[in-house]
Structure 1
Amino acid sequence: MGMASNSTTFRIVISGYYGFRNSGDEAVLRSILLALKEQGKRANVTIVPIVLSNDSALTTAMYGVESMPRMHPASLWKALKSADALISGGGSLLQDATGKKTIPYYTGVIKLAQWLGKPTFIYAQGLGPVNSRAMFPLISSAMKKSSYISVRDEQSARLLRNVGVVKQPIDVVPDPVMGMPLPDRQTAWKAMEQDKPVIGVSVRFWRSDRQELDSIAAALLKLMNERDVHIRFLPFHTPDDVEASRYVHNLIVPHLNKASTLEIADVEDDPQQMLLAVSQCDVLFGMRLHALIYAANQRIPLIGLSYDPKIDQFLERIGSEAIGSTEQLNADQFTTKVMQLLDGKDKWKTDKEPYISQLIEQSQKPAQQLIQFLRQNISR
Structure 2
Amino acid sequence: MSKPRGPTIGLLGSYGGRNVGDEAILTSILSSIRKGRPDASTVVFSRSPEHTRIHHEGVDVVGWEGVSREPASQIVSRLDVMVLGGGGILYDTEARRYLRLVRLAQEQNVPVFTYALGAGPLTDRLDCMMVRETLTATTTITVRDEESRLVLEEAGVMSTITVTADPALLLEQEEFGHDLLRAEGVPEGERLVGMSVREPGRAAEHLDSQGYHELLAHVGDFLVRRLDAYVVFVPMERDDIRHSHAVLSHMSAADRCRVLHGNYRPRQILGLVRHLDLVVGMRLHFLIFAALQGVPLLPLPYAGKVFDFAQQLGAPALSGVVREAAGPLLAEVDRVWDERPAHTERINARTPALRARAAATAEHFLSQLDIISPRTTVWGPAA
TM-score, with length taken from structure 2: 0.87
Query: Who is 1:365 aligned against?
Result: 360
Contact 1:191 1:280 in 2 (8 A): no
Q: What is the correspondence of 1:151-166 to structure 2 with a 5 Å cutoff?
A: 151-166=143-158
The aligned counterpart of 1:245 is: 244
1:122 is aligned, of 89, 114, 127, to 114
- In structure 2, the partner of 1:29 is 26
Partner of 1:286: 281
Q: Does 1:86 align with 2:85?
A: no
Q: Where in structure 2 are the equivalents of 1:109-258 lying within 5 Å?
A: 109-166=101-158, 168-183=159-174, 186-187=176-177, 190-192=180-182, 193-206=187-200, 207=207, 209-238=209-238, 240-252=239-251, 255-256=252-253
The one-letter code of the counterpart of 1:63 is: H
Q: Distance in 2 between matches of 1:352 and 1:153?
A: 18
The 1:335–1:162 alpha-carbon spacing in structure 2 relative to 1, beyond 3 Å, is closer
- Tell me the CA shift for residue 209 of structure 1: 4.2
Change (3 A) 1:75 1:35: farther
Q: Report the CA distance between 1:187 and its aligned residue.
A: 4.3
Give 3-state SS (helix, strand or coil) of 2:231's partner.
strand
CA distance in 2, matches of 1:251, 1:225: 15
Give the direction of change, closer, same or farther, for the CA distance of 1:211–1:268 in structure 2 (3 Å limit).
Answer: same
Residue 280 of structure 2 aligns to a residue in which SS?
strand
Residue 11 of structure 1 corresponds to which residue in structure 2? 8
User: Structure 1 178/75 Cα, relative in aligned 2: closer, same or farther at 3 Å?
Assistant: farther
Match of 1:68 in 2: 62
Q: Deviations over 1:310-353 (max 9, x none)?
A: 21111111122423535434434444433444444332121222
**CA distance in 2: counterparts of 1:281 and 1:46, whole angstroms:** 39
2:42 alignment counterpart = 49
CA distance in 2, matches of 1:263, 1:349: 25
SS of the residue corresponding to residue 251 of structure 1 reads coil
User: How many residues were matched structurally?
Assistant: 362
Q: 1:140 to 1:36 in 2, by over 3 A?
A: same
Amino acid paired to 2:99: T
Deviations 1:153-181 (A, max 9, x none): 12222333333332x33221111111111
Is the 2:84–2:112 Cα contact (8 Å) retained in structure 1?
yes
Q: 1:156 to 1:324 in 2, by over 3 A?
A: closer
Alignment RMSD, CA only? 2.3
Percent of aligned positions with the same letter in both sequences?
Answer: 25
User: For structure 2, which runs of at least 5 residues remain unmatched after alignment?
Assistant: 201-206, 377-383
Aligned-pair distance for 1:203? 0.8
Separation of aligned partners in 2, 1:164 and 1:19: 30
Structure 1: tracts of 5 or more residues without a match: none
Q: Which residue of 1 aligns with 2:73?
A: 77
Amino acid at match of 1:230: Y
CA, structure 1 residues 85+250, in 2 after alignment: closer, same or farther (shift >3 Å)?
A: same
Amino acid at match of 1:38: K
> How far apart are 1:300 and its partner, in Å?
1.3
**What are the Cα deviations for residues 266-285 of structure 1, in whole angstroms up to 9, with x where unaligned?**
33242111222222211111
CA 182–204 in structure 1, closer or farther in 2 if over 3 Å, else same: same
Q: Distance in 2 between matches of 1:36 and 1:13?
A: 12
Provide the secondary structure at the position in 2 that maps to 1:50. strand
SS of corresponding position for 2:258: strand
Kept in 2: contact 1:27–1:271 (CA 8 A): yes
Determine the C-alpha separation between the residues in 1 that align with 2:355 and 2:194.
22
Shift of 1:37: 1.9
Aligned mates of 2:269, 2:262 — CA distance in 1: 6
Q: Secondary structure of 1:92's match?
A: strand
8 Å contact kept, 1:219–1:332: no
TM-score, normalising length: structure 1: 0.88
Please report how far the alpha carbon of residue 189 of structure 1 lies from its aligned counterpart in structure 2 after TM superposition: 7.1
Structure 2 distance, partners of 1:213, 1:294, is: 23
Matches of 2:318 and 2:208, distance apart in 1:
21
Larger deviation, residues 218-227 vs 189-198:
189-198
1:330-349 superposed matches below 5 A: 330-349=325-344
State the 1:362 CA deviation: 1.1
CA distance in 2, matches of 1:375, 1:256: 57
3-state SS of 2:7 partner? strand
